[in-house]
Amino acid sequence: MTRFIVPLLLVAASHAFAQVGLLKETLKVKSAILSKDMEYSVYLPADYETSNRRYPVLYLLHGYTDDETGWTQFGEAHLIADRAIQSGEAAPMIIVMPDGGVTWFVNSYDGKVKYEDYFVKEFIPFIDATYRTRPTKQYRAISGLSMGGYGTLIMAIKHPELFSSAAPLSAGVFEDEEIVNSNDERWKIVLGDIYGKKELTGRNRLTDHYNKNSVLKIIETGNTEEIKKVRFYIDCGDEDFLIKGNMALHSIMIDKKIPHEFRVRDGEHNWTYWRTALPDVLKFVSESFHQK
């Protein structure tokens, strides 16, 4: 029986000394555009403090009513990243999780909350200046869930020069008729502050600002060749209430011949689904980080 002691000790030691990344939550960055301090969390790979190398970055966006801690408190993103990096399935990377409030990561229709401008003009440059990133398109990716999945698509299709890959999960993508027929409470509480006045009803909700921030309309009318410069990985559960919009996204990308991976797995709109999705996201974006 003693012959098993040494191997077991070695296994135990390997687990005990496995390197883990460093998680820093609720840090602050001053925003001139939003006129306030904004919060974010960051995951640094295990060798960040002991090396001088630069790392690719994944921006990981949270869902509606969550904040910069959602992906770590409920999604265990730091633990999943540790396992994926240690196994070699994902490249060592910095993961940045910003607080987007309930902005849907876009500029509001009245110009009072310009989150998209902040993210592109202030936040990304701040991250590149503060951490040892590789500050080019090839080494920058974006992902997120629900509202953050919508934000992922908006950032990638509006700013394809910034991201090599985008991986929206259970993205909040809506067809026009869903907006038109949405009940008044949902419009007033969730979408009205973003796309138009709260009192709008029916087709009046399809404002110019809505059209400029509708994922489906941007892809339909935008520069397809530019959008093709981003690699897309789209994942939504078959029992998710947002599956219809994601299917429409898949369809229009087929029509526009935009290469993308589309996954429909067994699952709902919940953290169980997103925790199981994240390892494949990390693997997918790592493929973009690698030199061909």
Domain-embedded: residue 12 = no
From the list 218, 260, 264, 259, the residue with the least C-alpha distance to 238 is 264
Distance CA 223, CA 228 (A): 9
The percentage of residues in the chain with a pLDDT greater than 70, rounded to a whole number, is 93
- How far, rounded to the nearest angstrom, does the alpha carbon of residue 21 sit from its chain's CA centroid? 20
- Nearest Cα to Cα of residue 253 among 229, 220, 230: 220
Question: What is the per-residue pLDDT for 1?
Answer: 46
- Phi first, then psi, for residue 265 (nearest 5°) are -115, 165
Nearest to 60 by CA among 34, 108, 94, 21: 94
What's the distance, CA 137 to chain centroid? 16
- Give the pLDDT score at 16: 44
Q: Is 126 contained in some domain?
A: yes
Same domain membership, residue 264 and residue 238: yes
Predicted confidence (pLDDT) at residue 284 exceeds the cutoff of 70: yes
Q: Is 10 within the bounds of a domain?
A: no
To 10 degrees, what angle do helices 77-87 and 271-289 make?
A: 40
- DSSP strand pairing (94-98 vs 36-44): antiparallel
The range of the structural domain enclosing residue 75 comes to 20-174+224-289
- What pLDDT sits at residue 18? 65
Residue 7 — pLDDT band, cuts 50, 70, 90? low
Asked whether the predicted pLDDT for residue 171 surpasses 50, the reply is yes
Whether residue 193 sits in one domain with residue 277: no
If asked whether residues 143 and 187 sit together in one domain, one would say: no
Q: What is the DSSP letter of 111?
A: S
Among the candidates 185, 213, 241, a domain finishes at 213
Residues 261 and 251 reside in one and the same domain: yes
CA distances from 19 to 16, 92, 180 (A): 9, 12, 51
Same structural domain for residues 48 and 191?
A: no
CB atoms within 10 A of CB 11: 10
Task: Confirm whether 219 is domain-assigned.
Answer: no
153 and 199 housed in the same domain:
no
Whether residue 105 sits in one domain with residue 141: yes
- The count of structural domains within the chain is 2
Q: Which residues contact 280 (CB under 8 A, 6 or more apart)?
A: 233, 235, 263
Is 100 inside a domain boundary?
A: yes
Round to whole Å and give the CA distance between 153 and 160.
10
Structure confidence by residue, pLDDT tens digits, 191-220: 888 888 888 999 999 999 999 999 999 999
d(C-alpha 281, C-alpha 103), whole Å = 24
Under 8 Å between Cβ of 245 and 251: no
Q: Are residues 113 and 238 in the same domain?
A: yes
How far, rounded to the nearest angstrom, does the alpha carbon of residue 136 sit from its chain's CA centroid?
18
Please name which of 82, 80, 72 lies closest in space to residue 18, comparing C-alpha atoms: 82
The tens digit of pLDDT for each residue in 136-150 reads 999 999 999 999 999
Helices (H), 169-258: 176-181, 184-186, 192-195, 208-212, 215-221, 224-227, 243-255
Domain final position from 166, 190, 213 = 213
CA distance 161 to 155: 10
Within this chain, do residues 138 and 55 fall inside the same structural domain, yes or no?
yes
- Give the number of other Cβ atoms within 10 Å of residue 159's Cβ: 17
Q: Please check whether residues 161 and 180 belong to one and the same domain.
A: no
114 & 155 share domain:
yes
Taking the C-alpha atoms of residue 166 and residue 171, their distance in angstroms, rounded to an integer, is 12
How confident is the model at residue 61, as a pLDDT? 98
Q: Is the pLDDT of residue 13 over 60?
A: no
Q: Scan for tokens 């060798």, then name that residue.
A: 47
Query: How sure is the predictor about 291, in pLDDT bands with cuts at 50, 70 and 90?
Result: confident
**Residue at 136 is within a domain:** yes
What pLDDT band is residue 95 in, cutting at 50, 70 and 90?
A: very high
92 closest CA partner among 155, 180, 22, 151: 22
The mean pLDDT of 69-88, rounded to a whole number, is: 98
Position 2 in a domain = no
- What pLDDT digit, counting tens, does each position of 100-133 carry? 999 999 999 999 999 999 999 999 999 999 999 9
Domain boundary among 164, 189, 213: 213
Find the helix or strand (DSSP H, E) in which 168 lies.
strand 165-169
15 in a structural domain: no
Q: Are residues 154 and 230 in the same domain?
A: yes
